[in-house]
Amino acid sequence: MKKCDYCAKEISYDEMYCCEECEKLTKDYYIRADRYAKPFSVINVVCLFGVMAGMFIFPMAKPFGAAMAIICCAVLGVLLLVLPFPTESMIRKFKMKKAIQITRLVGIGMMFLGVMIAGLLAIFLS
Ligand SMILES: [Zn+2]
């Protein structure tokens, strides 16, 4: 059975989407993804690198390393919530709606990671 490209509802073979709403949301997504793809990927890479670098220097310079990792986690979390751009393979696998939800969850996860690093720092400094 073929599935709607957006919400994964079952549809007939000559359709792409189950309803106009799904078609519209998919188009809106690609317009947004097109417009923000570059800044998104730059911020994404910089923050991921920042989180790893922050954790790497954490043993040497705890407050500085932690601050760096926390800020990068927060920025990445907000970025993924505001601009949830899943990868192409995720969209293929889960369909757009679920892939976007998963990406938002990853964003929330990044924020939790930031909070955990802050907690870790508080334990180390006390
Ligand atoms: Zn649909």
Ligand 1: distance of its center to the CA of 82 in Å?
22
Tokens representing 57 are 């220097």
Distance CA 13, CA 72 (A): 44
Q: Is 3 left (phi over 0), alpha (psi -120 to 50) or beta?
A: beta
- pLDDT value, residue 126: 86
Q: Other C-beta atoms within 10 Å of 83: how many?
A: 18
Q: State pLDDT tens for residues 62-89.
A: 999 999 999 999 999 999 999 999 999 9
Distance CA 65, CA 47 (A): 13
Ligand 1: distance of its center to the CA of 41 in Å?
28
Q: State pLDDT tens for residues 10-31.
A: 999 999 999 999 999 999 999 9
Q: Other C-beta atoms within 10 Å of 26: how many?
A: 20
| Confidence check: pLDDT of 96 > 90 | yes
Distance CA 5, CA 94 (A): 9
| Confidence check: pLDDT of 106 > 90 | yes
Ligand 1: distance of its center to the CA of 12 in Å?
12
Ligand 1: distance of its center to the CA of 81 in Å?
22
- pLDDT value, residue 112: 97
